[in-house]
Amino acid sequence: MSSLDDTMTLDPAATPWLDTAVGYALRRAQMKMFQHLVDSLASYDLRPAQFTALVILEQEPGLMQADLARRLAIEPPQLVLLLNKLERQGLAARVRDTQDRRAYALHLTDQGRALVGELKDRAAASDRAATAQLDDAERAELLRLLRKLNGELG
């Protein structure tokens, strides 16, 4: 089968429908990127959501548990499982809020703070490997367009 560019250039009417669907192309690219990251984090026994939680907590120490669940776009029960694993690994800790004893503020442990930089380097290398066929300008444009689709640009 020819590439999408070849197919669209030669005969746009003959282009398979899925190859023209932005959502389909985004999902396929996301799956590729995700697998690269999964492979990069495997030696740390971490999944992408756990890595993302660590990065968020590095940027926002003391973030409340419910807020982290929203940031990760996961349900609170899923977050509990994620945090249980991070605590077992000694990377994060839940601290009861002094105002609301039902709520927990989340913090990286010393071990978590020490590891997150290494994890970010590993994830950045994974990101570069997964997008190696793009030059710097194309990568910047892709990020700009994705941010636009995600409503992050005005």
Residue 33 has pLDDT above 50, yes or no: yes
Q: Tell whether pTM > 0.75.
A: yes
Residue 154 falls inside a structural domain: no
Give the Cα separation of 34 and 40 in Å (integer).
10
pLDDT tens for 96-143 read 878 877 788 999 999 999 999 999 999 999 999 999 999 999 999 999
Residue 125 falls inside a structural domain: yes
Residue 47 falls inside a structural domain: yes
- Give the pLDDT of residue 150: 87
pLDDT tens for 57-109 read 999 999 999 999 999 999 999 999 999 999 999 999 999 878 877 788 999 99
Give the domain range for residue 107: 4-149
Question: 114: exposed, middle or buried (C-beta count within 10 Å: 0-12, 13-18, 19+)?
Answer: exposed
Count of domains for the chain:
1
- Give the pLDDT of residue 145: 93
Residue 16 falls inside a structural domain: yes
CATH code, domain with 122? 1.10.10.10
pLDDT tens for 40-50 read 999 999 999 99
- Give the pLDDT of residue 19: 83
Q: What are phi and psi of 102, to 5 degrees?
A: -85, -20
Walk across the sheet containing 104-108 and list its strands. Answer: 63-64, 104-108, 92-96
Residue 76 falls inside a structural domain: yes
